[in-house]
Amino acid sequence: MPKLELHPDRLFPADPSIRTIARDLYKSVRDLPIVSPHGHTDPSWFALDESFGNATELLLVPDHYVLRMLYSQGIAMEDMGVAPAGSGAAADPREAWRLLAANYHLFRGTPSRIWLDWVFSEVFDLDQMLTAETADLYYDRITDSLQQDAFRPRALFDRFNIEVIATTEAPLDTLEHHAQIRESDWNGRVITAYRPDPVIDPEFEGFRDNLRKLGELTGEDCTSWKGYLAAHRQRREFFREMGATSTDHGHPTAKTADLSSGECEQLFARVQADDVSAADAELFRAQMLTEMAGMSLDDGLVMQIHPGSFRNHNPQLFERFGRDKGADIPVRTEYVHALQPLLAKYGNDTRLSVIVFTLDETTYARELAPLAGHYPVLKLGPAWWFHDSPEGMRRYRRMITETAGFYNTVGFNDDTRAFLSIPARHDLARRIDCGFLAELVAQHRLEDWEAGELAQDLAYNFAKAAYKL
Amino acid sequence: MPKLELHPDRLFPADPSIRTIARDLYKSVRDLPIVSPHGHTDPSWFALDESFGNATELLLVPDHYVLRMLYSQGIAMEDMGVAPAGSGAAADPREAWRLLAANYHLFRGTPSRIWLDWVFSEVFDLDQMLTAETADLYYDRITDSLQQDAFRPRALFDRFNIEVIATTEAPLDTLEHHAQIRESDWNGRVITAYRPDPVIDPEFEGFRDNLRKLGELTGEDCTSWKGYLAAHRQRREFFREMGATSTDHGHPTAKTADLSSGECEQLFARVQADDVSAADAELFRAQMLTEMAGMSLDDGLVMQIHPGSFRNHNPQLFERFGRDKGADIPVRTEYVHALQPLLAKYGNDTRLSVIVFTLDETTYARELAPLAGHYPVLKLGPAWWFHDSPEGMRRYRRMITETAGFYNTVGFNDDTRAFLSIPARHDLARRIDCGFLAELVAQHRLEDWEAGELAQDLAYNFAKAAYKL
Amino acid sequence: MPKLELHPDRLFPADPSIRTIARDLYKSVRDLPIVSPHGHTDPSWFALDESFGNATELLLVPDHYVLRMLYSQGIAMEDMGVAPAGSGAAADPREAWRLLAANYHLFRGTPSRIWLDWVFSEVFDLDQMLTAETADLYYDRITDSLQQDAFRPRALFDRFNIEVIATTEAPLDTLEHHAQIRESDWNGRVITAYRPDPVIDPEFEGFRDNLRKLGELTGEDCTSWKGYLAAHRQRREFFREMGATSTDHGHPTAKTADLSSGECEQLFARVQADDVSAADAELFRAQMLTEMAGMSLDDGLVMQIHPGSFRNHNPQLFERFGRDKGADIPVRTEYVHALQPLLAKYGNDTRLSVIVFTLDETTYARELAPLAGHYPVLKLGPAWWFHDSPEGMRRYRRMITETAGFYNTVGFNDDTRAFLSIPARHDLARRIDCGFLAELVAQHRLEDWEAGELAQDLAYNFAKAAYKL
């Protein structure tokens, strides 16, 4: 029966001279609190503090990384415990878990394997590898544990040494769970972030309906350009009061625009019509990034841009199972021309902070590092989504550091809804960053004490500073 | 006189802890039979089993990797033994060989050097490096050897421990050499693959003539859309009977389409006209990929797509010397939008298998790994052509494994017409893959026994399974 | 107080077996003379041989790498000693220097740090790191040294062991400083290069005025296509007499064209008009690259193409401070289609030599290595600008060598106006190249004596041969 053991040197470069340095650096940051400035955990977990249910509900069904890999090998969604949107049942959770177990070899070489093994070993104290043979042992151990108080959301939050975590909500959200957390006697710091895509993207499901609701919620006339902007300002202020320090924008491209207010009014009228054109939708999103930057100048919210995902690429799957099932695919993304209108207007204003992410690694060295290495407002988010992995993070550091330096980056984001994997993800990032710093030291490109300072910055300080936490 | 010696540790990472692991893994796969599921050897070699001629005819004139490098340094095609298409003579083979020998340093750092050195050392038992001084020794040793029975195609096939090899033929091919091989008393398994570009690509030389011949060969009316599809079905069935397990499609782009049958009929009429537009040609190729996928659902042939080469970039060279002289240049290639119509239609049908290749490495992590890591029908072909090299293969594994895993890949393709280099190419791939796996083990991202299983899979099992061999 | 010490093994790979080989290779090239075939030093320095002024004037204000990094962290241009274009003062040089010193940690992990530390240590014999505490020590040591004869341009040139250096001038330049150098009793070899962008690019500031001046200077009618071409020929000949062996072309894209002479005449008329279109401007630049190649066939000047920079991306900064302040950003660049017209016409003519550079690393393996590995006229320039760095150079070698080999490359270019950093830049390139060669030797892909030959070629021979020096 194969053992499960997390090796203390895992993820460090193999060369002994580098590994020794990496190990020392890692020791100095291993126990720092977790700062999680951007992610997708559910605030109701921390508000209600209920049990997470069973192993399958917690670790399989909601994890689109795991679903897509199993699906790619011909395993049906239903068999993984995912119920179709309308009628139709999903497999029994234990059966679904057995399927994961029998196919766990598919994750060899992937970050999911690293995250899950950490959760199994560190959270549930399992010491044999997940296989067909250990499937039930795992299912029972995890499911039983989840019934215990020590495995409820707040207890895990505390155990994970999380200093602060940001969730992500839309403007129509009333943030009642956040209110509940703040009013509770629990000390955990859970804040929100303003993600206005549903009321900004004319191609978002229910956009016009969302505008109407935004109007109701704010008392502003959201059919007029001015009222619409005022509604944003009002909601941003409400989010800020509820702890938000940032906004987030998940657009198909990074395009920005700087139209006159007359053009904006006309465009806003057109995107409220029945048959909005793709070009108008794109232009409106572009203009709204610039508007959001302008509002950030006033209210101090840090702006995040996450562009470049082709959402719901698989229409059959989307119809049957909905969003976030692993069928979002990155596309080529351009930044130099796209961001120019926003940067031409606000790029030199040191009161503003814009953090840019990418799913297109070709832009690291060519576009993003040169832009962030020049504009005062720009910083680079960490390796994101498909690139939030050992090799992905190494490529990120290798391709951006020489032009953008370390100080135009913002530390690590876990960007996940897989709450239990958060410490694993931060641990992975800390190990890879320490390995990278150790390489620089071993090549005499950095002194060891400089690497020591940077290790602290990358693991903790940069995230706090960049997100104003 | 510099020695030629193949070092047993060649191509393994230098770090001793990694190298030790790599060496062990490699030992376990070194002697596995060769499965060559895609390539361009000539079936007449194995049908007729005649001598390969002389050193220049075998190793210089047909190798476009070698020709292009020498040509890039100002050496004329004629001087390399390549005769112009019309009139005009080429250099004496021995003179041409001397030119290769005198310029062999140009191949330093390239895979051609690795492949050729293997052939010289392992096949012809040469133990000095190829230089101007050893040119004649080489020429004589190789040319004399080729006259011996042990160096005929079938003997080499057996010596190379080839379990199965696929050639590539067009629908108009009558496959008589394949028939001859099957009827012979030789046991070597040589199968064909269906490569319909000449009757699918309206911009292929002689397209309309090819359609006419396809009609004659099949008795179908190839001027009508229905007859044309029926002719494809008939030829696919014939190829399948002659051992084919796959089709192959070498299009300029990866574009697919899903038109109505009425649109298809009109488009097919237009592409048969004198002045077919580039847009129609592209759309027709796109639609035909989807049609081929549909036929694969019925007949079980695995589909390969090899897009992204700008063929015959050098018009002067093309006019004088024809195709395949080293002037095919990769271009940027898009997959996410391009494959969407085909995937929307057939992407979830586990009966279908589509293997995608690329010459554009920027798509590995951004597009291909996410697509193959989601769609059940998609698998990723190995590093191809210009990337079939130590660094190319390493980049491939580093960029695709974390998202697509190992199990959405299909093992190695040699994809070559340079028959003698086939074992060298598989050996190179096995060494690089073992080195990559060893790195993962040394970084404690994989257990050693898992790496051992994967080494077998990458060297042998995956190719057999993916190509149904 | 942290020490400044240049480690003898800096920039070599950490693995001991590789490092030993790298060290030996480096020893054999360390003291070779510097050949600097392309750069932006000012010929007046060597003509007049005046003192370089103070530390800030020499090392901060003119270095756009340093300016952009400090600016990206919110430091104002004025505070770095850069005066606005019109009125307005800049900080006192010593204050500006203190700002650099206090922020020197921003350069951790960047090549600027490596270059500057070399200058501080080797040229000015400083042995403590630059920090806020050592700012004045540095400022005084450097500024005082610059008043000494040993620190004047010619003395440094000799001390740096520069065999030849090329500057870059526009056709309207009268090259009087070059004349002065040649007439002097100093033996330093300083040559020019023909950079005609101001009279070729219709979007260059003052283009029409420049054409008028070109007419006056040459006595040719520069409003007619024929006169304009004749003026180019005349100025190229003058530059050639003044030592030039190359031309240089800094276009937004790599596009080339091959129009009829009638079309050229009409296009040339259009680009002289008030309202030249972007498409005409692009087409004219494209056609002129092909014209320049044709002239190079006659006069033997080596042609360099440096495409792909979006100049002056930050309009506010450009208006206040002008060009070259760190706001030039690379964009995606295409070569395969772009260069085809020029290559179709002249690509096989071994009399011509075209050296291509890129800021888009995605083209290394996909486009540039295959093109240079085929066309006799094409060679690849070294890693450029943002990629002139340890990781950038490694990526360059890893991505181009397997397809283009070493012999289609041209050695190193420092491409800088930062005169004092030139030895540091060549040293960095030699160290990285030796490290790369050592890796190949350690992986048994190259014999040690072959690596020894290549080390000499990359450090010295290739630049001399490729630039006809």
Domains, chain B: 16-50+152-466 (3.20.20.140), 52-150 (1.10.2020.10)
pLDDT in tens, A11-43: 999 999 999 999 999 999 999 999 999 999 999
Q: Identify the H or E element spanning A355.
A: strand A354-356
- Give dist(CA A240, CA A247) in Å, integer: 10
Burial A251-264 (b: 16+ CB within 10 A, else e): bbbbbbbbbeeeeb
Tell me the pLDDT band of B274, cut-offs 50, 70 and 90: confident
Distance from CA of A364 to the nearest CA of C (A): 10
Quick one: pLDDT at residue C1? 84
Taking CA–CA distances from B118, the nearest residue in chain C reads C445
DSSP assignment string, B97-132:
HHHHHHTGGGGTTSHHHHHHHHIIIIIT---B---T
Q: Output the pLDDT for position C212.
A: 97
- ipTM score of the complex? 0.97
Query: Are C403 and B110 inside 8 Å of each other by CB?
Result: yes
SS (H, E, C) C397-452: HHHHHHHHCCCCECCCCCCCCCHHHHHHHHHHHHHHHHHHHHHHHHCCCCCHHHHH
Is-contact B193 B248, C-beta < 8 A? yes
Q: Residue A148: phi, psi to the nearest 5?
A: -80, 150
Taking CA atoms, C170 is separated from A271, B152, B332, C165, C214, in Å, by 50, 64, 34, 17, 10
Q: Per-residue pLDDT tens for B349-371?
A: 999 999 999 999 999 999 999 99
Give me the residue from C365, C372, C447 closest to B361, CB to CB: C365
- Determine the average pLDDT of the residues in B51-65: 96
pLDDT band at A1 (very low <50, low <70, confident <90, very high): confident
Rounded CA-CA distance C312/C328 in Å is: 5
Helix axes C225-241, C278-299, angle to 10 degrees: 50
- CA distances (Å), B26 to each of A301, B436, C182, C300, C303, in order? 55, 11, 63, 52, 47
The answer to whether residue A318 neighbours chain B at the CB level (below 8 Å) is no
Nearest-neighbour CA in chain B from A59: distance (Å): 18
Cα–Cα distance measured from residue B303 to residue B159, given in angstroms and rounded to the nearest whole number = 30
Contacts of B445 in chain A (CB under 8 A): 10-11, 109, 113-114, 390
Residue of chain A nearest B438, judged by CA positions: A14
| B230, B283 contact by CB (below 8 A) | no
DSSP label at C366? I
Taking CA–CA distances from A129, the nearest residue in chain B reads B447
pLDDT for position C274: 85
Instruction: Please give the backbone phi and psi of residue A88, each rounded to the nearest 5 degrees, phi first.
Output: 105, 140
Supply the pLDDT for residue B434: 98
Which residues are bridge partners to B247 per DSSP? Answer: B194, B303
Q: From CA C267, how far away is CA B226, in angstroms rounded?
A: 50
In the predicted model, is pLDDT for residue A56 greater than 90?
yes
Contacts of B449 in chain A (CB under 8 A): 2
CA B422 to chain centre: 11
Cα angle vertex A291, ends A288, A293, to 5°? 115
Per-residue exposure over B112-129, b if at least 16 CB sit within 10 Å of its own CB, e if not: bbbbbbbbbbbbbebeeb
Q: What is the pLDDT along chain C (469 residues), one digit of tens a residue?
A: 899 999 999 999 999 999 999 999 999 999 999 999 999 999 999 999 999 999 999 999 999 999 999 999 999 999 999 999 877 788 999 999 999 999 999 999 999 999 999 999 999 999 999 999 999 999 999 999 999 999 999 999 999 999 999 999 999 999 999 999 999 999 999 999 999 999 999 999 899 999 999 999 999 999 999 999 999 999 999 999 999 999 999 999 999 999 999 999 999 999 999 899 999 999 999 999 999 999 999 999 999 999 999 999 999 999 999 989 999 999 999 999 999 999 999 999 999 999 999 999 999 999 999 999 999 999 999 999 999 999 999 999 999 999 999 999 999 999 999 999 999 999 999 999 999 999 999 999 999 999 999 999 999 999 999 999 9
Q: Which residue has the tokens 């008392």?
A: A219
User: What does the pLDDT look like over A352-372, one tens digit per residue?
Assistant: 999 999 999 999 999 999 999
Q: What is the 3-state secondary structure (H, E, C) of C277-316?
A: CHHHHHHHHHHHHHHHHHHHHHHCCEEEECCCEECCCCHH
In this structure, how many other beta carbons lie within 10 angstroms of the beta carbon of residue B447? Answer: 17
The pLDDT tens digits of the residues spanning A315-341 come to 999 999 998 999 999 999 999 999 999
Dist. CA C366–CA C357, nearest whole Å? 14
Q: Are C25 and C434 in contact (CB under 8 A)?
A: yes
Residues within 8 A of A (CB atoms), B 402-421 only: 402-408
| Contact present, B80 and B99 (Cβ < 8 Å) | yes
Beta strands A162-166; A354-356: pairing state = unpaired
Beta bridge partners of C127: none
Tokens of C10: 């800096």
Question: Which residues are registered as beta bridge partners of A36?
Answer: A165
CB pairs under 8 A between B and C: 128
Residue type, A99: L
Which of B14, B110, B359 is opposite residue C15, by nearest beta carbon? B14
Test A17 with C16 for CB contact under 8 angstroms: yes
Q: Which residues contact C213 (CB under 8 A, 6 or more apart)?
A: C172
Is 90 exceeded by the pLDDT of residue B87?
A: no
**Cβ of A20 under 8 Å from any chain C Cβ?**
no
For chain A, how many residues are written?
Answer: 469
Query: Residue A317, Cβ neighbours under 10 Å: how many?
Result: 21
The whole-angstrom distance between B200's CA and the closest CA on chain C is 24
Collapsing DSSP to helix, strand or coil, A284 comes out as helix
State how far Cα A289 lies from the chain centre: 19
Alpha-carbon distance of B417 to A295, in angstroms, equals 63
Nearest-by-Cβ selection for C454 from B72, B108, B332: B108
Contact B1/A at CB under 8 A? no
The verdict on B74 touching C (C-beta cutoff 8 Å) is yes
